[in-house]
Amino acid sequence: MSYNSNTLTALSQLIAASNGLTLGQICNFTDLEPSTIQNWVRRRFVPRPVGKKYRERHIARILLISSLRDCMKLDNIGKLMTYVNGDTDDESDDIISEQKLYGYLCEAISRTDNAAPTIDSVSVLVKSVTESYDAPEEHKRRLENALAVMVCAYTAGKYKRQAEKIFNQIKE
């Protein structure tokens, strides 16, 4: 499933009205298996649900991980998320909300124009996308570094899926 910045926004009213989404609802929306999400929670890549309900913060984290897992090891995604926002269950050490981070990733991806970004273009792109991010310089640097990794990983995953599609056509 491909995601965009409207993905989370579209769910906001439903999340607010129902005080969160159930695991089943998230699985229906993301096409992820319940055991996958439960594993991510157990491994502390995703915060524990509150009363068996997942809120925007949870869903944004799930969407981020799902967006990166084609080309990054899950443990590395977890380390990257910790680099940005520290302890999964402690929002007080976050340098940015999960929702905003997801929005920045979607914005950066939408600006790549389906071309493979270079190291230099990723840096320029990330700085452009995060231009309005107002935080201490260390936080801004961490955000830019993490977002650069995310853009490259997402793009690599997209090319990996395309290569597999072409390969499967060859096999037939």
Q: What is the pLDDT of residues 3-60, one digit of tens each?
A: 566 666 777 777 878 889 999 999 998 899 999 999 999 999 999 999 999 999 999 9
Cα–Cα distance for residue pair 68/110, rounded to 1 Å: 15
Cα–Cα distance for residue pair 151/123, rounded to 1 Å: 10
Residue 109 sits in which domain range? Answer: 5-171
Position 112 scores a pLDDT of 82
3-class secondary-structure state, position 96: coil
Domain count, the chain: 1
